[in-house]
Amino acid sequence: MTVQEALEYYRSIQKNRHALNHALGVLYYDAVTAAPSDSAEGRGETMEYLSNLIYEAENDPKLKEAADYLSAHKDELSARDRREIEVFLRNNEYISKIPQEEYVAYTVLLNKAEAVWHKAKAENDFASFAPYIRDIFETNKRFAQYYKPDMAPYDVQLDLFEKGLTMEKADAFFEALRAKIVPLLKKVMAKPQIDDRFLEQNFPTEAQRRFSDYLMEVITIDPTHCTLRETEHPFTTGFNKKDIRITTHYHEDNVLSSMFSVIHEGGHALYELHSGDELEGTVLSGGVSMGIHESQSRLYENIIGRSRPFVDLIFPKMQEFFPEQLAGITAEQMYLAANKSEPSLIRTEADELTYCLHVMVRYEIEKGLFDGTIEVDDLPRVWNEKYKEYLGIDVPSDREGVLQDSHWAGGNVGYFPSYALGSAYGAQIVAKMKETVDVDRCVAEGKLQPITDWLEEHIWTFGGMYDPMDLLERCCGAPFDPSYFTDYLERKFTEIYKL
Ligand code: ZN
């Protein structure tokens, strides 16, 4: 074998694998956007077939041989190829240790779980979803043990979403946030609350749809490469850098919900749309980790979307979409309403200050489910107790409690810390960007392209070339420091609430 032959073989299999993942991704996207509710069975069979092919492509002995050969000759490879083989072998080590039947069975399980979760949430029926949570967590735990038998399974899980993250690091990070956020929230709660009653009106879905298209345009999303559809739970998926799909959920009684979810998913989409051309079709294309991904979405949603210049910019247009509802309301009132901070039930609609407390609840629960200190059947009770402890509120139903997120149904166990990490990364990234880009002015003038360009140059174009912490350090010129985020929150909420 020569390096050239090994590379050619490696690439041909990657191409097949990419096509299979594309097909599987479209099936999932169809399931949540367009397929009839009772259609999981037939789709499950197709998914089973495709998963088998993916597993076989991934575990092709000749592929591993080629990758090992390339790894042994890495000095002869370009930086990109070297990194690609490194990441491929890392992923391959995880998947190749899982027996094929278990791998395929898990895909089938997730397809069913998604449908059951939908119904369970709609009917507020935790008991019907509980067996799926148990199966999904047990499967992940088993896979983690196959992969790294000497490591705590939840550490394996965290590392899958955010390379290098461990419970020890996550505990320290959450502790640093808690120490700042809890006293700040206490001060906020002692002040008179922001009046946002003008939002308690009907905002028709049709007008909200047009508003979403406008928002996507403002943040520089190319609509010929990214579409927006509606799902129960907003998300982003991408098949390649020219085909990104984002979704939202319209609530006629809550116009801000979709507004901020469109901007959030738009941040994910921008990241994917601007991944480096030369990485396309490789394991390095798209975002490097969920933490960095969430840093981009949370940065757009909050640091930009919930800023005064942004609300000032879009408010006149918003009044055109909702002329009766917003008659006599000012941009300042909208800005304050968008930043009203109070303990609430739903994570995706939480304000910036309380948001990370929602994440901490989920992190502790996942940790407990992994180490056996929490049983699945006790989840509703534990969830409600933790909401009382962290946010001081009573959870009236599982629908607004433990059933609210789709992550566990989708097998995304260990994902939640990414949201809090992402929020903190985003604050540090924007602080760095502000050294050379007048962010507030770009936003005020409605010209967000310099922001897009900066993020493309410093983050997006690199795809998976660097591990998350290395990428952040290269971008910011300093190691990760959560105090950028807590300082940002303190400045912002001190000003808004006159603390
Ligand atoms: Zn997100």
Torsion of CA 167, 417, 83, 80, to 10 degrees: -160
Ligand 1 centroid, distance to 296 Cα (angstroms): 8
The fraction of the chain above a pLDDT of 70, given in percent, is 100
Ligand 1 centroid, distance to 158 Cα (angstroms): 16
Residue ranges with CB less than 5 Å from ion ligand 1: 297
Alpha-carbon span 275 to 238, nearest angstrom: 11
Alpha-carbon span 14 to 17, nearest angstrom: 5
Calculate the average pLDDT of the chain. 96
pLDDT for the residue numbered 117:
95
Alpha-carbon span 30 to 146, nearest angstrom: 32
Give tens-digit pLDDT for 82-140: 999 999 999 999 999 999 999 999 989 998 998 899 999 999 999 999 999 999 999 99
Ligand 1 centroid, distance to 87 Cα (angstroms): 23
Ligand 1 centroid, distance to 265 Cα (angstroms): 6
pLDDT score of 432 more than 90: yes
Give tens-digit pLDDT for 325-367: 999 999 999 999 999 999 999 998 899 999 999 999 999 999 9
pLDDT for the residue numbered 241:
96
pLDDT bin (cut points 50, 70, 90) of residue 214 is very high
pLDDT bin (cut points 50, 70, 90) of residue 232 is confident
Residue 190 phi, psi (nearest 5)? -80, -10
pLDDT score of 283 more than 90: yes
Alpha-carbon span 154 to 156, nearest angstrom: 5
Span 263-278, average pLDDT: 98
pLDDT bin (cut points 50, 70, 90) of residue 159 is very high
Q: Indicate which residues carry an active-site annotation.
A: 265
Alpha-carbon span 154 to 168, nearest angstrom: 11
b/e sequence 44-59, b meaning 16+ C-beta within 10 Å? beebeebbbbbbebbe
Give tens-digit pLDDT for 375-427: 999 999 999 999 999 999 999 999 999 999 999 999 999 999 999 999 999 99
pTM: 0.94
Give tens-digit pLDDT for 130-154: 999 999 999 999 999 999 999 999 9
Ligand 1 centroid, distance to 68 Cα (angstroms): 35
Ligand 1 centroid, distance to 297 Cα (angstroms): 6
pLDDT score of 37 more than 90: no
The 3-class secondary structure across 282-297, one letter per residue, is CCCCCCCCHHHHHHHH
pLDDT for the residue numbered 349:
87
Ligand 1 centroid, distance to 349 Cα (angstroms): 12
Ligand 1 centroid, distance to 29 Cα (angstroms): 16
pLDDT for the residue numbered 233:
86
Give tens-digit pLDDT for 305-322: 999 999 999 999 999 999
Ligand 1 centroid, distance to 390 Cα (angstroms): 22
Span 198-226, average pLDDT: 98
Span 241-263, average pLDDT: 97
